[in-house]
Amino acid sequence: MERQGCRFGSGTGAGGFLISLEDLDSVTEDESLDLAGAGNDNEDRNAEVGNEQVQDGLLAYWQNIGRRHQVDVTEDMAEPIQQMARHNQSQDREMVPFTPIGHKMADELLYEKRQYEKAKWACVTQNEPSYEQSTGLGFMKLMKYICQQNSSGLFLGMTLPIVTIVHTNQTRTELRPEITMAYYLPTQFQDQTPQPLDAEIAIEEWPAHIIYTRSFNGNTTEELILQEINQLAEHLDSTEWFLQDTFIVAGYNNPAAPSRHNEIWFIHSP
């Protein structure tokens, strides 16, 4: 498959992510051990066997989730899954930096205006038959890159939000099937960026840009994404100065959580 870039611009897409943070937020390290059956009373079992059991238990857990979203979680995901579970603490996550530069209020915050500086992102484009398949497979590719499958051989660390570039038709009533998922490189890797071993992942330097964003809660279904895009458009004085068919869905936590925090981003066009 040809290597794809992920710069902002017209194209085709739909967005969100399902499998990824559902596991990260719902499985702690202790729960990982329970899922793997690592809490038995056999004190003589060696560390290698115990580690394999943890990996097998977590992989089975992910595979069950994957089946619900028509995504095949293969055995080579076992080690990345365990690494993510091991580092699944809020203090281990870096937030993508930005500067707030304005907002609009009514009875609630209608939108916030932010400045994001030039930065490097790792991104991957997917165009599977279903939205859930594209987002699930896209995140698993990024997850492998984060978890040592890069030129440095290091665990790079989790950053939030994970963003998904989506594209709509002209009337904003339909999401196109192709999506691009992107991961912000942690600050320590911005200057010397580990290169992906997977040729389908591209490292892009996104230019400084201004976005207008509105928060929403819930699972990022195609229907909800379109609803939120059109709601934000209604609150803006004009959409003339924004990309017209390209938007970003930013996800901060577990899609299954009842108070899940997401954002829709409109990208200001220079």
Q: How do residues 32-60 score in pLDDT, each as one tens digit?
A: 333 333 344 444 444 454 556 556 666 67
**What pLDDT is attached to residue 26?**
46
Contact of 164 with 181, CB cutoff 8 Å: yes
pLDDT on residue 259: 64
pLDDT for position 2? 39
Q: Number of C-alpha atoms within 13 angstroms, CB side, residue 171?
A: 2
Q: Where do the structural domains in the chain lie, given as residue ranges? A: 91-268
Alpha-carbon distance of 37 to 30, in angstroms, equals 11
| Global pTM value | 0.76
Q: Residue 200: which residues within 8 A CB-CB, separation 6 or more?
A: 1, 3, 4, 124, 125, 141
Residue range 91-268, CATH number: 3.20.80.10
Q: pLDDT truncated to tens, each residue of the chain (270 aa)?
A: 334 455 555 443 333 333 344 444 444 433 333 333 334 444 444 445 455 655 666 667 666 766 666 666 666 666 666 666 676 666 668 999 999 999 999 889 999 999 999 999 999 999 987 777 788 888 889 989 998 899 999 999 989 999 999 999 999 999 998 999 999 999 999 999 999 999 999 999 999 999 999 999 887 888 999 999 999 999 998 888 999 999 999 988 754 445 678 999 999 987
**Residue 208 near residue 115, CB atoms below 8 Å:** yes
Q: Are 256 and 198 in contact (CB under 8 A)?
A: no
Residue 143 pLDDT: 87
What pLDDT score does 51 carry?
57
